[in-house]
Amino acid sequence: MLKIGIFGAAGYTGFYLIKYLLNYENVSIDCITSTSKIDAKYSDIYPFFINKFEKKFISSDEALNYDLDAAFLALPHTQSFNYVDKLLAKKTKVIDLSADYRFNDFNTI
């Protein structure tokens, strides 16, 4: 079972990521984070997920205590910088869906 964390799950990107990942039985979404929705159930924010996904939001700092295989970062601009190094130090694979680590020049790839 692949243990996943979604940082910034309350936004548009988080919504579609959760909707997508719930189709995979070998994926466990262990934690979801939000700055403003802590302790609210995901289905309270998005009724589409009633009886499908009832996990509660936690803070991103608390999520760093989880033993995750991978973390998706769907955070506001510049916020990913606060978590990438900490997650990588724990050997967590990081997929940043924000703009923080985008290439400025494709010739540098």
pLDDT per residue as tens digits for the range 16-64: 999 999 999 999 999 999 999 999 999 999 999 999 999 999 999 999 9
Cα 63 from chain centroid (whole Å): 9
- Residue type for position 52: K
Q: What percent of the chain has pLDDT over 90?
A: 83
Q: How many domains does the chain have?
A: 1
Please spell the DSSP secondary structure of 45-68, one letter per residue.
H-GGGTTT--PBEE-HHHHTTS--
Q: Is there a domain that residue 20 lies in?
A: yes
Q: Which residues 6+ apart lie within 8 Å of 30 measured at CB?
A: 3, 4, 5, 66, 68
pLDDT band, residue 101 (cuts 50/70/90): confident
CATH of the domain at 67: 3.40.50.720
Residue 11 belongs to a domain = yes
**Residues of the chain above pLDDT 70, percent:** 93
Range of the domain at 77: 2-100
pLDDT of 106 strictly over 80: no
Q: How far is 17 from 62, CA to CA, in rounded Å?
A: 20
- Within a domain: residue 18? yes
CA angle 89, 94, 100 (to 5 degrees): 105
Residue-level pLDDT at 108: 60
In a domain, 96, yes or no: yes
| pLDDT attached to residue 59 | 97
Instruction: Please determine, for residue 104, whether its predicted confidence score (pLDDT) is greater than 80.
Output: no
